[in-house]
Amino acid sequence: MDFIETSVMSLTGVMDKAFDIHKKNIGTSALYLFIVFIIRMILYFILLFIGMFSIVLMAVNFYSDFRVDDIAQHMDWGSIISIVFGLIILFSIIFLLEIGKQVGIIDIASKGFLDRPVRLEKALVQAFKKIPTVLSVLIAYGVIFIPIIILFGGLLLFILDNTFNIINIWSILLCLAFIVISIYLATIYMFSINTAVIEKLYFFKALKRSRLLVKKNFWRLLGINILFSLIVIAITYSIYSILGIVGGVFHIILRGMDIGEATLTSFLTIGNILRIPLQIIFSLFISPLGQIFNTILYYNQRFKKEGYDIELKLEDLQRTSETI
């Protein structure tokens, strides 16, 4: 194991490591996200089918002349309850799939950082295996955050109700306070998913672990996250702007050619349609960067706080001595 990989890194070192791991495993992470995307699209089509089926079913139930007070007698409540229950199950599966998507990228980033074999099938297995663990962390986070939402929402309604629904300085300050608290919670619990996946911690234990790792480095980690987010946004929009430039050049070329207006419109429509799958493909290669960076940052905090880099070096020396 390389010395740089198991030593405390600077901000540039963390960024370089994140980009390096992403570059080495870009095929695996992109294929992993593509598989998750396909599964999600299948579930969305099933949701669409159930939604259309439910609309048809309700139309059939109401297709007769009857009084408004007889509606309940004409409705097939058993079918409606079954449809609602099915929709809830599908939405839950999609939500769990979104959780699993993060878990797989964390597993890829962790294996890449620790110089261990990165395999697609392992990431998929971990994604589904760790869903209950991550879900417990999200529940714990909800227990903390939902009362805050209710409190601020109630205060905002109270202010607007007593000022005749006019937005004033107090409502603006209340919204700003809510944003500040949200950013604070997101920062101190930024490693909670990592601790759940890597250290196998559940519920409030994962939140407490993240809080300890962030302690005394809050402002630095907040600034680092903002900076890296801006970098990823810049990269994303740079690629999208290139697509826009290519589309613009293509439009100028078509304008210069002697073709009909209808043909030109058809070409432009096809170009706009093709842009959507291209943006999806590019997002598969860009979106893992954020979670990879957060995972490297998590390990770097453990190196600083606990000397975990020394533990990794000792484990590496032990493995080396066993193979000799």
**Would you say residue 324 has pLDDT above 90?**
no
The reported pLDDT for the residue numbered 184 is 92
| 115-135 average pLDDT score | 83
C-alpha distances in Å from residue 113, one per residue of 6, 16, 35, 168, 301? 9, 12, 23, 50, 14
Structure-block tokens of residue 101: 């998507």
The reported pLDDT for the residue numbered 3 is 43
**pLDDT tens profile 60-82:** 655 554 444 444 454 455 556 66
The reported pLDDT for the residue numbered 71 is 46
Q: Which residues of 108-125 are buried (b: 16+ CB within 10 A; e: fewer)?
A: bbbbbbbeeebebebbbe
The reported pLDDT for the residue numbered 65 is 47
Vertex 47, ends 41 and 51: CA angle to 5°?
145
The model's confidence at residue 86, banded by pLDDT at 50, 70 and 90, is low
Delimit the domains of the chain by residue range.
Answer: 4-130+217-318
Structure-block tokens of residue 212: 């300890």
Segments in the chain forming alpha helices (H): 11-24, 26-62, 71-74, 77-113, 120-129, 131-162, 169-188, 192-198, 203-214, 218-256, 261-286, 288-306, 308-323
The helix/strand/coil state of 38 is helix
**Would you say residue 294 has pLDDT above 90?**
yes
Average pLDDT, the chain: 78
Q: Of 6, 213, 221, 224, give the one whose Cα is nearest residue 113.
A: 6
Residue 7, phi then psi, degrees to nearest 5: -135, 155
Residue 253, phi then psi, degrees to nearest 5: -60, -45
Find the farthest-apart pair of alpha carbons in the chain and give their distance in angstroms, rounded.
87
Q: Which stretch, 30-44, 52-66, 162-176, 187-201, has highest mean pLDDT? A: 187-201
Structure-block tokens of residue 323: 């193979």
The reported pLDDT for the residue numbered 68 is 46
**pLDDT tens profile 5-57:** 567 888 888 888 888 898 888 888 888 888 888 887 887 777 777 767 666 66
C-alpha distances in Å from residue 108, one per residue of 74, 101, 188, 194, 311? 54, 11, 23, 12, 21
The sign one gets for the Cα dihedral 243, 245, 248, 250 is negative
**pLDDT tens profile 260-278:** 666 666 666 766 676 777 7
**Would you say residue 290 has pLDDT above 70?**
yes
Vertex 298, ends 294 and 303: CA angle to 5°?
145
Q: Of 294, 319, 318, 299, give the one whose Cα is nearest residue 309.
A: 299
Whole-structure pTM value:
0.78
The model's confidence at residue 189, banded by pLDDT at 50, 70 and 90, is very high
Could you give the angle at which helices 218-256 and 11-24 cross, rounded to 10 degrees?
A: 50
Residue pointed to by tokens 């986070």: 141
The reported pLDDT for the residue numbered 259 is 65
Percent of the chain whose pLDDT exceeds 70: 72
Q: Is 268 exposed, middle or buried (0-12, 13-18, 19+ CB in 10 A)?
A: middle
Q: Which amino acid is at 161?
A: D
**Would you say residue 196 has pLDDT above 60?**
yes
The alpha-carbon radius of gyration of the chain (Å, integer) is 26
Q: Whole-angstrom distance between the N-terminal and C-terminal Cα of the chain?
A: 16
**Would you say residue 234 has pLDDT above 50?**
yes
Residue pointed to by tokens 């429509």: 269
